[in-house]
Amino acid sequence: RAKEALTQTVCFYEVSMDEAARRRRLIANDLWQAVRRDELELHYQVQKAVHTGETLGYEVLLRWHHPVRGTIPPSDFIPIAEECGAILPIGEWVLREACREAASWENAHKIAVNLSPVQLGNADVADLVQRVLQETGLDPRRLELEITESTIIGDKERALETLRRIKAFGVTIAIDDFGTGYSSLETLRSFPFDKIKLDRSFMSEVESSPEAKAIIRAILALGHTLRVPVLAEGVETRNQLDILLDEGCDEAQGYFLGRPMPMERIRAARKASEAA
């Protein structure tokens, strides 16, 4: 009896594990086709100077419109794409699209592109960046690559070497989701970065938690001592923006300033406000 029950439990467990694995396999399979089938779309989210409200640039955020499953958020498919390797063709597509888009603007706004640790671990990524810049004619100083600390925790020497090559083109590097990793201070000491993006968990707590505010203040001091601007992610209210202004934060991004959306919609909104 006990043995039978155990067998059943084990089987049930294996079936559900199997289901999850099967779903991942199906998604991975579809991911390889996504670029070719034109299912990927870029959304753009504005980044502004806190003090002046001036638009500085846009972060590119990937959307996948799956023909059957509907729109799948990046948090669901990026990890699978990283695991199965599809992140390489997808990441290349994102970079090329983003640079082409930015090169077509009449202004000199920056374009910030997220770079996966898997891309950074790939020896060819610096060549890719160089090639895409040449193809699109984008001024390298207008391209920013966002990397997370986890990127750096992997093969550190190799990542460093690649980042140095990329920076030599004039491209800048931002540390994304700063404050959530394991080795923030070590990262700051050894990495050639140009901006700190403060993780949005601090913003969501800044009004209620003196500790969150103290940490923001400390990271701002750190950034400014190192002469690196700090951008606060996840600004959702006027009040949060006012706090950032008080604290001397340099840049901000979040729903209060603008939701991620396709560039056509940003253009239409800009035209409408110019006409008004």
Residues 46, 56, 94, 244: which binds ligand C2E (CB under 6 A)?
A: 94
Token pair of 123 as six digits: 């020896």
Q: Which of 146, 149, 250, 251 binds Mg ion (CB under 5 A)?
A: 146
Contact window for Mg ion (CB under 5 A) among 75-83, 131-139, 230-238, 259-267: 230-238
Answer for the pair 252, 216: CB distance below 8 angstroms, yes or no. no
- The kind and range of the H/E element at 7 are helix 2-34
Binding partner of 247, given Mg ion, ligand C2E, none, CB within 5-8 angstroms per partner class:
none
For the segment 41-60, give every residue that binds ligand C2E (CB under 6 A). 45
Question: Does 78 help bind ligand C2E (rule: CB under 6 A)?
Answer: yes
Name the one range near Mg ion by CB under 5 A: 67-75, 95-103, 163-171, 231-239: 231-239
CB 170 within 8 Å of CB 140: yes
Residue 146, classified by CB atoms within 10 Å of its CB into exposed (0-12), middle (13-18) or buried (19+), is buried
- Looking at residue 235, its amino acid is V
94: closest CA among 74, 75, 115?
115
Residue 239 half-sphere exposure, CB side, CA atoms within 13 Å?
6
Contact 163, 120 (CB under 8 A): yes
Specify the residue, 44 or 191, whose C-beta has the smaller distance to ligand C2E.
44
| Of the candidates 146, 205, 142, the residue with the CA atom closest to the CA atom of residue 178 | 146
One of 49, 65, 66, 74 touching ligand C2E (CB under 6 A): 74
CA 236 to chain centre: 18
7, 255, 262, 268: which one binds ligand C2E (CB under 6 A): 255
| SS3 label, residue 187 | helix
CB of 113 to Mg ion, least distance (A): 9
CB closer to ligand C2E, 14 vs 79:
79
Among 80, 111, 116, 195, binds ligand C2E (CB under 6 A): 116
Nearer to Mg ion, 32 or 101 (CB): 101
196 forms bridges with which residues in the sheet? Answer: 175, 230
111 lies in the binding site for ligand C2E (CB under 6 A): no
Residues 168-187 that bind Mg ion (CB under 5 A): 176-177
Closest residue (Cβ) to Mg ion? Answer: 146
Closest CA to 66 of 32, 24, 30: 30
User: Considering the rule CB under 6 A, would residue 75 count as an interface residue with ligand C2E?
Assistant: yes
The torsion angles phi and psi of 187, rounded to 5 degrees, stand at -60, -50
Under rule CB under 6 A, residue 61 binds ligand C2E: yes
Q: Which stretch binds Mg ion (CB under 5 A): 36-44, 67-75, 93-101, 139-147?
A: 139-147
* Residue type (1 letter), 62: L
User: Which residues lie near ligand C2E (CB under 6 A)?
Assistant: 45, 61-62, 73-75, 78, 91, 94, 114, 116, 146, 176-177, 200, 234-236, 254-255, 260
User: Which residues lie near Mg ion (CB under 5 A)?
Assistant: 114, 146, 176-177, 233
